[in-house]
Structure 1
């Protein structure tokens, strides 16, 4: 993922409301959200080039999501696929913090990343840049290609829009959240971060939703988990070759109480 905003133990009746965009080069082969691993309960999209994923969950209520840390000096080459970390966690059988205790010793082998891990008890953020894990408390958060809640314009705007949307609706308005994720308001140049990729790329990457002929927002995800363990994960996929168009919607429901 490249942008994640989420409300954790913040909206009545919901343990988690998470909205996210995946930005990628348009020619990178991808499989949409689904059960791509026979014999396993892992629900995820799939990167067909490296084999990993950007967000996944299993039938037991565990969730993992990853974002790139945008800094050319943090690139490790060669490095293992960061998308495999999600699968490693979901296959480990471990709680989030127990997994990180074992994993952190090899985290430096990867290019810079942020990781969100959830289990039936906790939601944890970890970055191999800071080499710190944080058990999150209730609130609204934002994560892009820097550390958690770094006040980039797109992060602050996404958090504001999610907070406003949840405050205006007792139930979850799926379409309103997908509209949030399609927001293309460009920040003023002086507010953009300097991550070492140059002004042109900083401008392109500035909005919540990115559109160009070679790189852009490939899909949006909305995950809701109720206090009683009912989860819904929806993905909306886009194309960019003739403007910005929705090409597919898919939703999956999981009852964690039943497994």
Structure 2
């Protein structure tokens, strides 16, 4: 992902609300969100490119209530061609049974094998964030609140992060939480393609033209842009809904939606098939 907005324990009906955009070159193959055949408890998209390490994902949900999502840390001068795929970090958490703190702490000895990343991990009891960049070497437990994450550290106030965090707060406040409440407003806030003013642009090491292109929440260009917009809402009792819209250089290519019931400690039910 290149933009992840998270509302954690910030709504009377939802434990977790996530809205995110995945930006990537259109030529890089990927599968939209689906239940994985080789890991039936995992609901996620999948990177289909040839990579070093295990094929992974950028965001996903597991049937036991665990969630994870990742952004790359933009530092082109530090990028290594022999680094392992960062997507395997998300897949590893979703496939396993570790709690978020233990999983993230266990990454510390091997984070040098990856280019820069931010990783969010949640089990619907706790939400944690970890990056292999920045001053703190330790994972951080996040308090209830609304957070924005792009290709820098958590809550770095890039224009699109500030703007879309505010938009998420407004959308969340208007969400009645009633059954069937539309997910469309969340997808609309992800579709914002306003680029930042030149004076607002961060300096991350890419050209000014790319800095400008990458400054909007939704990105369009002939070769690179927002490939997927994904919205997840998980209720306190474990019921969830996940919708994803896919795009290429010519516009929207598809949409999938899943609903079900997660198997969490406070809810003894099993995962239901998506419908």
- TM normalised by structure 1 equals 0.95
- Give the corresponding residue for 1:135: 141
Please give the alpha-carbon distance, in whole angstroms, between the structure 1 residues aligned to 2:167 and 2:39: 39
**Structure 2 partner of 1:252:** 258
Alignment check: 8 A CA contact 2:121 2:129 kept: yes
1:159 is matched with which residue: 165, 170, 176? 165
Q: Do the aligned partners of 1:232 and 1:253 also contact (CA within 8 Å) in 2?
A: yes
Aligned residues: 256
Runs of 4+ aligned structure 1 residues displaced above 3 Å come to none
1:176 paired residue number? 185
The 1:169–1:64 alpha-carbon spacing in structure 2 relative to 1, beyond 3 Å, is closer
Normalized against structure 2, the TM-score is what? 0.90
Q: Measure, in 1, the Cα distance between the counterparts of 2:138 and 2:209.
A: 32
- Determine whether 1:186 maps to 2:195: yes
2:87 maps to 1:78: no
1:226-257 deviation digits (Å, cap 9, x = unpaired): 1111111111111223xxx2221111123123
Matches within 5 A, 1:160-239: 160-171=166-177, 172-239=181-248
Gaps of 5+ in 1: none
Preserved contact between residue 4 and residue 18 of structure 2 (Cα < 8 Å): yes
In structure 2, the residue matched to 1:119 is: 123
Whether the aligned pair in 2 keeps the contact of 1:59 and 1:254 (CA below 8 Å) is no
Is the alpha carbon distance of 1:39 and 1:86 closer, same or farther for their aligned partners in structure 2, counting shifts above 3 Å? closer
Q: Is the 8 A contact 1:181 1:209 kept in 2?
A: yes
CA distance in structure 1 between the aligned counterparts of 2:39 and 2:187, rounded to whole angstroms = 31
SS across alignment from 1:132? coil
Distance 2:172 2:163 in 1: 14
1-side partners of 2:146 and 2:242: how far apart? 19
Question: C-alpha root-mean-square deviation of aligned residues, in Å?
Answer: 1.3
